[in-house]
Chain A
Amino acid sequence: GAVVSQHPSRVICKSGTSVKIECRSLDFQATTMFWYRQFPKQSLMLMATSNEGSKATYEQGVEKDKFLINHASLTLSTLTVTSAHPEDSSFYICSARDFDGSADTQYFGPGTRLTVL
């Protein structure tokens, strides 16, 4: 299957700072990428849909000014958690949509564990 990378894998920051997470599709172009948040022992919750060259679409209840998403190229989307607080601590996972001409499939990055002190 296709490969999606995510960086950093782990980050610890102080409350009030901003953290940027990168998601890259390594061997395919992804016009659409998705950002999820996963709390311990819970399912993946979609935060936003990132479309290359346009504004992201946020799910209900997700603050767009707090979670800034940029999808500047067909292989890179970034999520910036602004003014992070302890309640933002979570596992953030991106996925990239690969269309092979006949079918769509989503492949996930390895995730970023964010800890806000």
Chain B
Amino acid sequence: GENVEQHPSTLSVQEGDSAVIKCTYSDSASNYFPWYKQELGKRPQLIIDIRSNVGEKKDQRIAVTLNKTAKHFSLHITETQPEDSAVYFCAAAARGSNYKLTFGKGTLLTVNP
């Protein structure tokens, strides 16, 4: 089955700096890669996703890049703000698996004011 590795497990940045979280996946059939933000005790919120037919997607301060050959994808947050502090999860899914998501272990992002 699919295996998703996520790094780093914790990340601390100063407000205004950029943050980058990286994930690798093992199943070459995976073609959907969402990123979720989860605040303590809350539901995971979809913040951005990318499908395998594109290499990059951007939404304001958030961008995701995908390298299918190397089987890795990354989340980039620019101009970080304290409210960006949360746990971020990457995930991978394949159409053939009913789009069942396999999650990375998560990254605790702390943005210091």
The chain A residues found within 8 Å of chain B, CB to CB, are: 1, 32, 34, 42-44, 46, 49, 51, 91, 93, 95, 97, 103-111, 113
B27 to chain A, nearest CB (A): 14
Contact, CB under 8 Å: A108 / B103: no
Contact, CB under 8 Å: A44 / B51: no
Kindly list chain A residues whose C-beta atoms are within 8 Å of the C-beta of B41.
91, 111, 113
A39 to chain B, nearest CB (A): 12
Which chain B residues numbered 78 to 113 have a C-beta less than 8 Å away from chain A? 89, 95, 98-106
Which chain B residues numbered 31 to 66 have a C-beta less than 8 Å away from chain A? 32, 34, 36, 41-46, 49, 51
Alpha-carbon distance between A111 and B51 when the two chains are bound, in angstroms: 27
Q: A43-B106, A93-B44 are in contact. Are A106 and B98 (CB under 8 A)?
A: no
Contact, CB under 8 Å: B44 / A49: no
